[in-house]
Structure 1
Amino acid sequence: MGERIRLGFIALNDAASLIVAEARGFFADEGLDVELSREVSWATMRDKMAVGALQGTHMLSPTALAISLGVAGSDPTPLIAPFALALNGPAVTLSSRLAGAVGQDGRADGLARLVARRREEGASPITLAVVFPYSTHNYLLRDWLAAAGIDPDRDIRLVVAPPSRMTGLLVDGVVEGFCVTEPWDTAAVAAGAGMIAVRGSQIWPRTPDKVFAVTEAWAEANPEALQALLRALARAAAWVDTPTNRAELAVILAQPGYVAADAAVIERSLSDMIFYADGATCPAPAHAGWLLTQMMRWGHLPADLDIPAVARRIYRPDLHAQAMEALGLPVAQPVALLEGFGATGRYRLEDSAQEAAAAPLSRLARD
Structure 2
Amino acid sequence: MTLTPFRIGFLPLVDAALPILARELGFAEQEGIELQLVRDLSWATVRDRLLYGHSDAAHLLAPLAIATSLGLGRPAVPLSVPFVLGLNGNAITLAPWLADAVAGNTTGLADPVEAGRRLAVIIASRAREGAKIRLGVVHRFSSHNYMLRYWLAGSGVDIDNEVEIITIAPPFAADALAAGEVDGICVGEPWNSVAVDRGAGAIVTVTSHIWQRGVEKVLAMPTDRMEGERDLVHRVIRALYHAGKAFIVPERFAENAAILARAEYLDGPAPMIERAISDRIKLSANSEPLHIPDFMFQHREAANFPWVSQAAWLYAQMVRAGHVVQSERDYAAAQKVFRPDVYRAALSGTNVPLPGASAKLEGGIAEPIGVGTVQGRLLLGPDQFFDRRSFDPDHLDSYLKELKNGAGSKSTR
Flag whether TM exceeds 0.5 (same fold): yes
Asked whether the equivalents of residues 70 and 334 of structure 2 are also in contact (C-alpha less than 8 Å), the reply is no
Task: Name whichever of 241-250 and 330-339 sits farther off.
Answer: 330-339
> Does residue 308 of structure 2 align to residue 285 of structure 1?
yes
- CA distance, structure 2, for counterparts of residue 68 and residue 180 of structure 1: 24
Q: Show the counterpart of 1:268.
A: 275
Match of 2:127 among 119, 134, 138: 119
Deviations along 1:104-158, one digit per CA (max 9) or x if unpaired, are: 3133222222222223333x31211000000000011111111222222321221
Asked whether the equivalents of residues 12 and 181 of structure 1 are also in contact (C-alpha less than 8 Å), the reply is yes
Q: CA RMSD in A?
A: 1.8
> Does residue 338 of structure 2 align to residue 315 of structure 1?
yes
Q: Show the counterpart of 1:245.
A: 252
Q: Show the counterpart of 1:46.
A: 47
If the length of structure 2 is used for normalisation, what is the TM-score? 0.80
Identity of aligned residues (%): 37
Kindly state the Cα deviation for residue 269 of structure 1 after the two structures are TM-superposed: 1.8
Kindly state the Cα deviation for residue 175 of structure 1 after the two structures are TM-superposed: 1.4
Paired AA for residue 204 in structure 2: A
Q: Show the counterpart of 2:111.
A: 105
What secondary structure, in the 3-state scheme, does the structure 2 residue paired with 1:192 have?
Answer: coil
Aligned ranges 1:7-18 → 2 under 5 Å: 7-18=8-19
Paired AA for residue 221 in structure 1: G
Deviations along 1:49-88, one digit per CA (max 9) or x if unpaired, are: 22111110001000000000100x2211101100001112
- CA distance, structure 2, for counterparts of residue 147 and residue 197 of structure 1: 16
Deviations along 1:239-285, one digit per CA (max 9) or x if unpaired, are: 11222221211111111111122111111123111111111011110
What secondary structure, in the 3-state scheme, does the structure 1 residue paired with 2:296 have?
Answer: coil
Q: Show the counterpart of 2:217.
A: 210
Aligned ranges 1:282-361 → 2 under 5 Å: 282-306=305-329, 309-334=332-357, 336-337=359-360, 338-342=393-397, 344=400
Paired AA for residue 304 in structure 1: S
If the length of structure 1 is used for normalisation, what is the TM-score? 0.89
Task: Give the count of matched residue pairs.
Answer: 345
Deviations along 1:309-358, one digit per CA (max 9) or x if unpaired, are: 224421111111122224332213445243112361868xxxxxxxxxxx
> Does residue 24 of structure 2 align to residue 29 of structure 1?
no
Match of 1:233 among 218, 240, 246: 240
- CA distance, structure 2, for counterparts of residue 81 and residue 36 of structure 1: 18
- CA distance, structure 1, for counterparts of residue 89 and residue 347 of structure 2: 24
Residues 2/202 of structure 1: CA separation in 2 closer, same or farther (3 Å cut):
same
Residues 143/312 of structure 1: CA separation in 2 closer, same or farther (3 Å cut):
closer
Give ranges in structure 1 of 5+ residues lacking alignment: 348-367
Q: Show the counterpart of 2:78.
A: 78
What secondary structure, in the 3-state scheme, does the structure 2 residue paired with 1:239 have?
Answer: helix
